[in-house]
Chains A and B, each alone.
Chain A
Amino acid sequence: QQQVKQSPQSLIVQKGGISIINCAYENTAFDYFPWYQQFPGKGPALLIAIRPDVSEKKEGRFTISFNKSAKQFSLHIMDSQPGDSATYFCAASYSGNTPLVFGKGTRLSVIA
């Protein structure tokens, strides 16, 4: 049973455009929703994270939108750049020493 479903699997965006990646979760006990960026051969780097008490969080060009009732959250990358080309993972966890549950990842390619 996949607890976090991520889409699309791959995404191609023109430079300067908006990249949008969506995730849906099933476990209503989840209370922490991070996004990670991973470049080939590197470990995932925390990009931005949100908790269910807010509907949106913005850090620079990256924004998380969170819809608690729909059990969905999304990552928006504004003014996408070729350097943003990477694999993005959404994840979820709940309080305590529980591990993250990951989506399957989205391979983003930003083309000039």
Chain B
Amino acid sequence: GAVVSQHPSRVICKSGTSVKIECRSLDFQATTMFWYRQFPKQSLMLMATSNEGSKATYEQGVEKDKFLINHASLTLSTLTVTSAHPEDSSFYICSARDSQGAAGNTIYFGEGSWLTVV
């Protein structure tokens, strides 16, 4: 199946610094990518929808100035957590929509990135 690569898988940063997480679709072009946050033993919480070449659409309650999303190409979206604080520590997961694949309009997930803010 299609592969979505997410990097880094784990990152530790100091409070007040920024950290960038990359999400790449490796064998398909993704005009739309999604970013999620997941707390332990809970479901995925959608943060934003990222469309190539346009501004991301953020879910209610998600600070767009804190969680900067860029989707500059059809295979890459980035999430930058700015001025990180310990409460931003979480598991962040991206997903990408493959609208051209044989199965049609299938969404694949990356392996997630653990962010720890100390």
Contacts and interface: CB of A to CB of B under 8 A. Distances in A.
B49 interface: yes
A102 B43 contact: yes
Contacts of B108: 46
B106 interface: yes
Interface residues of A, number: 21
Given A44-B44, A99-B49, A102-B43, A32 B105 contact: yes
A99 B49 CA distance: 7
Among A49, A97, A104, the one with the most B-chain Cβ atoms within 10 Å of its Cβ is: A97
Interface residues of B, number: 27
Contacts of B74: none
A92 B29 CA distance: 22
A30 interface: no
> What secondary structure prevails in chain B residues at the interface with A?
strand
A97 B111 contact: no
A41 interface: yes
Contacts of A105: 42-43
A43 B44 CA distance: 10
A103 B43 contact: yes
B107 A34 contact: yes
A102 B38 CA distance: 12
Given A99-B34, A102-B43, 15 more contacts: A36-B109, A41-B91, A43-B110, A44-B93, A44-B109, A46-B1, A49-B103, A89-B43, A93-B107, A97-B31, A97-B49, A99-B46, A99-B49, A100-B95, A105-B42
11 contacts: A32-B105, A34-B106, A36-B109, A41-B114, A42-B111, A45-B109, A46-B107, A46-B108, A97-B49, A99-B49, A102-B44
